[in-house]
Chain A
Amino acid sequence: MQRYLVRRILITFPILLGITLVTYLIMALTPGDPVQMLIDPSMTQADVEIKRRALGLDQPVYVRYARWLGEVLRGNLGYSISSGAPVTRRVGERVGPTLTLTGTALVLSYLIAIPTGVLVAARRYRSVDYAVTFLVFMGISLPTFFLGLAGIYVFGLRLRWLPVGGMTTLGGDGGLLDALHHLILPASVLAVAGAGALTRYVRSSMLEVLGQDYVRTARAKGLVETVILRRHALRNALIPVITLAGLQLPALLAGAVITEQVFQWPGMGRLTIEAISQRDYPVLMGVTLITAVLVALGNLLADVAYSVVDPRIRYE
């Protein structure tokens, strides 16, 4: 296992290099650049050329990439083109809000999905199962922006229970309660969307496991159904759930673009979208680099978790 881990970690570095190189190239080849898109009547031709030079856009792509890589190796992710602020700061200030929102939503969605999934698996093809199925699919048949809007309409406008938009009350440091109050709506919308899929995964792998011999053996031994469900079945049904959790780790930091947009949440998803729409290459590269590290980490953790859940799984 130890050798495997070392190998996995070592192989990450050339992969990161490859990912950044390819992303850089693709970005450079994508139409539109940060200066080209400035059509401001207050700007002169000279202003445009000065910007192009100042941002190094007059250099060929490979020079730009080499410079970027050199800076990264020295721990500097460069400066945002649109704001002039250091990329580490632009990205760093998003980490907290993003983790708060996606983390809460993720925990909520697992809290909803695992019990619900087990329940509907045990009650397969009964009305509870159909009702949950229907709700789950209703949740995914409408776009997130619409669900967010509906949440705002119901809880923010009609009932006036919850504030709409933002992380805190304006200017105020309302403390933890204020922050929680603002968190409820976006985190719930995100959790509902996530829990739907998760419920179905838990349900289907529970069903799969419940058909297996050892579960039958357990039943034959006369064990109580809830004990079977909890002790024997659930643990073995977790493989796809772990895979999903591994896949979701990068998403945890990547943020939730639409939810952040609708609820005015200053997360990583919005930063990414802004960076793309402004062709802010350094910011985008910073985000890509972090995503790549997290993807590698998430899948590594999932692989380790597999062998914990199922000790028969071995990696050489």
Chain B
Amino acid sequence: MNEGLSPQVRYPRGGTTLAAGSGHRATSIAGSAAPVPSPAVSYWTLSLRRFLRHRVAVAGLVILVLLTAMAVAAPLLAPASPTAIDATAFQAPPSPLHPLGTDSVGRDVLSRLIFAARVSLTVGLLAVGMYVVIGTAVGAVAGYYGGTVDLALSRLMDVVLSFPPLVIILFAVSVFGRPSLWNVILVLGLLGWPAVARLVRGQILTLRQQEFALAAHAMGASDAAVVLRHLLPNAMAPVLVAATFGTANAILVEAALSFLGLGVQPPTPSWGNMLTDAQSLTVLERMPWLWVPPGFMILISVLTINFVGDGLRDALDPSLKL
């Protein structure tokens, strides 16, 4: 079962000792900036090698890079301006002139789809990145220290979860004045973290009592080291799931936010606001070009992010030995 490193590799069965860190990822995932000891080079090399053998993850990464490139190079790739109106073709089906048809005000769907990647990918990745970082930090501190710290931080999460989000968003609109992409990211980031924090806290609560953590502590590791190097890596599984779903959600929610005056405003396209065109039976049944392309792009982005996430987790997991 343990042969080689095909993507089929699963949980190794070999008996392991209960020494600190064994059977657990001893290093945080990329970006957590844990000080990496001297054999780091080989560790990262190994991780990279493991990742590269995870074919689906690599494919996902390639597609994600391509999507990002498409967003950056949108003006070069798009056949038309995303806001130009073709006065002769409203809701027109695909044709040589408009390969993916036109939308409800006669704009080229393909061009909008390409430009929309900018907004949707930025919002999806940055907003989620922001709340995952905040949520993980708060959740880890609350779960690890427990007691009064936990009580205070957990109640803070309760407070944030209790505010009616729509009211907060409407209030934010009035505070920010002018809408911009960064406001959306900020609002999503500031409203989204408590859920992640609770997930991390729940994981840490149980992990900190486990032998490897107690052992690490007994061996004199600092709190930060225990949390960053021993606990967090093992608590990241649900966070990765939350992040991939959060990305899809952020891409869709962005459209809803622009309806409330936050976020990118018309005529700037985003995959989310392109989908809001699909609000009638006629469009659903007879104008698939209005909803299939943006829906497909969101699906592809989220799937690839998910696969890359899976691949990263497996690659960084030292329990999967070479």
Contact = CB atoms under 8 A, between A and B. Distances in A.
Interface of A: 7-8, 11, 15, 18-19, 22-23, 26-27, 29-31, 124-126, 130, 133-134, 137-138, 140-143, 145-146, 149-150, 152-153, 157, 196-197, 200-201, 204-205, 207-208, 210-213, 215-216, 219-220, 239-240, 242-244, 246-247, 250, 272-273, 276, 284, 287-288, 291-292, 295-296, 299, 302, 306, 310, 312-313, 315-316
Given A133-B306, A299-B158, A212 B275 contact: no
Nearest to B166: A276
A239 B201 CA distance: 10
B245 A200 contact: yes
Contact of A153 (B206, B284, B299): B284
Contact of A240 (B202, B275, B284): B202
B16 A246 contact: no
Contacts, number: 186
Nearest to A312: B209
Contacts of B154: 299
A15 B245 contact: no
Nearest to A130: B56
Given A30-B174, A137-B303, A315-B146, A23 B237 contact: no
16 contacts: A11-B151, A15-B158, A26-B168, A26-B171, A133-B303, A134-B303, A141-B248, A142-B295, A143-B275, A146-B278, A200-B245, A210-B10, A239-B202, A287-B164, A292-B162, A295-B161
Contact of B295 (A130, A141, A207, A240): A141
Interface of B: 7-8, 10-16, 18, 23, 56, 146-147, 150-151, 154-155, 157-159, 161-164, 166-168, 170-171, 173-174, 195, 198-199, 201-203, 205-206, 209-210, 234, 237-238, 240-241, 244-245, 248-249, 252, 255, 272, 275-276, 278-279, 281, 284-285, 291, 295-296, 298-299, 302-303, 306, 317, 319
A204 B240 CA distance: 9
Given A153-B284, A247-B195, A306-B205, 7 more contacts: A30-B174, A125-B56, A142-B291, A204-B238, A204-B241, A207-B11, A211-B317
Contact of B202 (A142, A272, A273, A302): A302
A306 B8 CA distance: 32
Contacts of A29: 171, 174
Contacts of A137: 248, 299, 302-303, 306
Contacts of A150: 284
Contacts of A8: 151
Contacts of B203: 239-240
A15 B303 contact: no
B252 A19 contact: no
A288 B164 contact: yes
A284 B295 CA distance: 33
Contact of A205 (B7, B237, B302): B237
Given A31-B170, A288-B164, A239 B206 contact: yes
